[in-house]
Amino acid sequence: MVWSTQEQLAQARKRPQSRAGTLYGALEPIMGAAGGDEPDNRSLLDSLVQRGSLTTETARRHLALIEGFGQVNATLDETYEILLLVRSLPQTYAYIDGAKLLVETRRLAETRFVPERLETTDQVMDAVRKGFAGGADGHGIATAYESLGVRHTTIAETYPSPPDHPYINQVSLAYTLLTFSYSPLVGMRAVGEDVPEGDALLTWMGVWKIIGSVMGIEEGGLPDTFDEARGLWDLIVASPGYGASPEGVQLLRALKEHVASNQKAEQPVDLIGEHGDPTVLALLKS
C-alpha cells in the first residue's frame, strides 16, 4: 500500500535507499555477475525468477508493461521534455533534503555547473526511457540500476547526511520519481496536450513503478495509478520535508539564469515562469 499518512511519511524519511524488498537489492548479485555487460530486460526478469526474487506471474506482468511502454512513450512529444526542465526540475528543489544535497555536491548550485549537470540528467533519463521503450530486448532495467540505483548509493556514501535522516531517503526518492512520472503529465494537461489515458496510463505508471523499485524505493513510495500518484504527491507536499530553503532558492536562481542565457532573443522568455509549478515558484521566490 502506498503511504497515506504523515506518520508513515515521517518514518519513511528516516529510511535510506533500500535493498530489502526492492528490485535494486534483488538485481545487485545479478548485475555483479554480469561483469560490466548490460543484460536485456527479459533476461534480467528471467534471472530474478530463477533466484526466487520474483514470481513468474509478477515477471510476466512486468514484461507486459515493458512491452507496451514503447507505444505509450512515443505519444509524448517534446512538451514532456521541456516540462522536465521548466517544471519537474524546479519541483525537486522544493524538497529540502534533495536541495541541500544538490548544493552540497555543487551539482546545480551555480550557473556555470548547470549545463553539464542538465546534459547528464537528460542523457540518463533518455537512456532509461529508451531502454524500456525497446521492450523485452531493451536495457531499461540495467540502465536504471546503474544510472539511478547505484548512482544514488554512491552519492549517499560520499556525502554526509544529518544524524536524524539521510538526504537520500525513501521520501526524497519517491518525490523525485513523481517529478518524472506524474508531474509532467499534470503540466501537459494544463496546456491542453494529450496525455496517456486508460490502459496506456496504467502502462506508463507501471513502468515507472518498476524504475522506482530498481532505484531502491519501497512499495509505499510506488503508486500503481495516476490517482494514487496524485494522493502521494499531495501528502508529500503537505509534509515537513517539503518547503522553502536557502538551497532551493539558490538552485532555482541558477536554473533561471541558465535558461535565460540560452535564448537568443534580446528579451528572453521566462519559460519557467510560464510553465513551471506556480506553488514552487512562489515558495522559492528570491
Is pTM beyond 0.75? Reply is: yes
The predicted pLDDT at position 169 comes to 97
pLDDT value of residue 138:
98
**Helix spans in 14-150 (H):** 23-33, 41-50, 56-74, 78-83, 89-92, 96-104, 114-133, 140-144
Give the tens place of pLDDT for each residue, 90-136: 999 999 999 999 888 765 556 666 777 778 888 999 999 999 999 99
Spatial neighbors of 32 by CB under 8 A, at least 6 apart, are none
d(CA 261, CA 281) in angstroms, rounded, equals: 19
Identify which of 272, 217, 244 has the alpha carbon closest to the alpha carbon of residue 84: 272
Is the alpha carbon torsion for 22, 41, 226, 83 positive or negative? positive
Of 101, 94, 278, 114, nearest to 186 by C-alpha is 278
What pLDDT is stored for residue 107 in this prediction? 56
Quick one: DSSP state of residue 137?
G
pLDDT by 10s per residue, the chain, length 286: 999 999 999 999 999 999 999 999 999 999 999 877 889 999 999 999 999 999 999 999 999 999 999 999 999 988 999 999 999 999 999 999 999 998 887 655 566 667 777 788 889 999 999 999 999 999 999 999 999 999 999 999 998 888 888 999 999 999 999 999 999 999 999 989 999 999 999 999 999 999 999 999 999 999 999 999 999 999 999 999 999 999 999 999 888 888 888 777 667 788 899 889 999 999 998 6
Query: Which pLDDT value is given to residue 269?
Result: 80
pLDDT computed for residue 160 by the predictor: 83
Is 80 within 8 Å of 223 (Cβ atoms)? no
Amino acid 74: pLDDT: 94
Residues ≥6 apart with Cβ < 8 Å to 204: 69, 72, 73, 181, 185, 196
**DSSP bridge partners of 95:** 242
Number of Cβ within 10 Å of residue 221's Cβ equals 29
242 - beta bridge partners? 95
Closest CA to 210 of 149, 124, 120: 149
